[in-house]
């Protein structure tokens, strides 16, 4: 039996996660975007979401000429918490993430949020260097099924070369997540997010992406 987590197509289970030794992936420049579900039913789990974002941030090499980070929170509408060019130090970004306030809102418009990223975050004016060949990596953390269609913006992001990882709670639609993401995973609730980081790193290594957002030993 393989010591690696099970990976089936584009979907993998958070429950088969084991501590594994992952081959190192070359570390270059990345633009890492966190799209966080801020709708009402994610309120209690939001501190765990913030903790997960901080865990990923700790693995990055944040610098003006290295990794850049953006955070967007959404529900019925989307709000940029920080753009890719807002901060150039890890500590500033960590402090901003610790200070995030849960957005709130009854409706979860994931499709509109993805389109918002395309129009307002993945642009040169917002700090994106997509056109220069810098790898754009998106983490979507969702607490449930979208109220709108994700099809068109999800397809557009893939055509743009954005590498997307989607993590949903048990209320999320796994088929919907797979439309959006290169790899998708589910957890019972947001408190299980710490268990997902290494699994995502393993998925990234399978894709042989030279610009990994995971700097595990």
Token pair 């010591």 is at which residue?
3
Is residue 119 a part of any domain in this protein?
Answer: yes
Is residue 4 a part of any domain in this protein?
Answer: no
Is residue 111 a part of any domain in this protein?
Answer: yes
Model confidence at 9, pLDDT cuts 50, 70, 90, reads very low
Across the range 189-214, mean pLDDT stands at 67
Distance, in Å, from the CA atom of 179 to the CA atom of 40, rounded to the nearest integer, reads 24
pLDDT attached to residue 5: 36
Q: How far is CA 46 from the centre of its chain?
A: 15
Nearest of 9, 8, 6, 17 to residue 187 by alpha carbon: 17
Q: Is a pLDDT exceeding 70 seen at residue 6? A: no
Is residue 215 a part of any domain in this protein?
Answer: no
Distance, in Å, from the CA atom of 104 to the CA atom of 73, rounded to the nearest integer, reads 9
Across the range 127-135, mean pLDDT stands at 91
How many separate domains does the chain show? Answer: 1
Q: Is a pLDDT exceeding 60 seen at residue 103? A: yes
Is residue 40 a part of any domain in this protein?
Answer: yes
pLDDT attached to residue 129: 92
Nearest of 212, 151, 153, 161 to residue 182 by alpha carbon: 161
Q: Is a pLDDT exceeding 80 seen at residue 146? A: yes
Structure tokens that stand for 7 in this block: 């990976």
Is residue 187 a part of any domain in this protein?
Answer: yes
Which residues constitute the domain of residue 130? 30-206
Half-sphere exposure of 91 (CA within 13 A, CB side): 0
CATH number at residue 132: 3.40.50.410
For 28-69, how does the pLDDT look when each residue is reduced to its tens digit (9 = 90+)? 788 999 999 999 999 999 999 999 999 999 888 898 888 999
Q: Is a pLDDT exceeding 80 seen at residue 18? A: no
pLDDT attached to residue 3: 35
**Cut 0.85: pTM above it:** no
Across the range 11-32, mean pLDDT stands at 45
Is residue 83 a part of any domain in this protein?
Answer: yes
Across the range 77-94, mean pLDDT stands at 96
Distance, in Å, from the CA atom of 69 to the CA atom of 83, rounded to the nearest integer, reads 7
What mean pLDDT, rounded, does the chain reach? 83
Distance, in Å, from the CA atom of 78 to the CA atom of 36, rounded to the nearest integer, reads 10
Is residue 198 a part of any domain in this protein?
Answer: yes
């Amino acid at each position: 039996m393989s010591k690696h987590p099970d990976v089936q197509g584009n979907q993998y289970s958070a429950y088969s996660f084991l501590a594994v030794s992952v081959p190192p992936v070359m570390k270059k420049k990345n633009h890492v975007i966190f799209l966080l579900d801020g709708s009402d039913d994610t309120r209690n789990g939001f501190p765990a979401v913030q903790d997960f974002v901080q865990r990923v941030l700790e693995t990055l090499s944040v610098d003006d000429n290295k990794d850049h980070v953006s955070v967007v929170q959404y529900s019925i509408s989307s709000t940029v918490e920080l753009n890719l060019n807002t901060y150039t130090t890890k500590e500033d970004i960590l402090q901003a993430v610790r200070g995030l306030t849960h957005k709130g809102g009854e409706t979860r418009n994931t499709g509109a949020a993805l389109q918002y990223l395309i129009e307002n975050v993945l642009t040169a004016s917002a700090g994106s260097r997509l056109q220069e060949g810098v790898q754009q990596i998106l983490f979507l953390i969702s607490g449930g099924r979208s109220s709108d269609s994700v099809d068109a913006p999800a397809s557009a992001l893939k055509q743009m070369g954005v590498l997307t990882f989607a993590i949903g709670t048990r209320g999320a639609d796994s088929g919907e997540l797979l439309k959006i993401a290169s790899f998708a995973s589910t957890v019972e609730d947001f408190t299980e997010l710490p268990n997902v980081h290494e699994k995502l790193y393993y998925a990234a290594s399978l894709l042989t992406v030279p610009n990994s957002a995971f700097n595990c030993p």
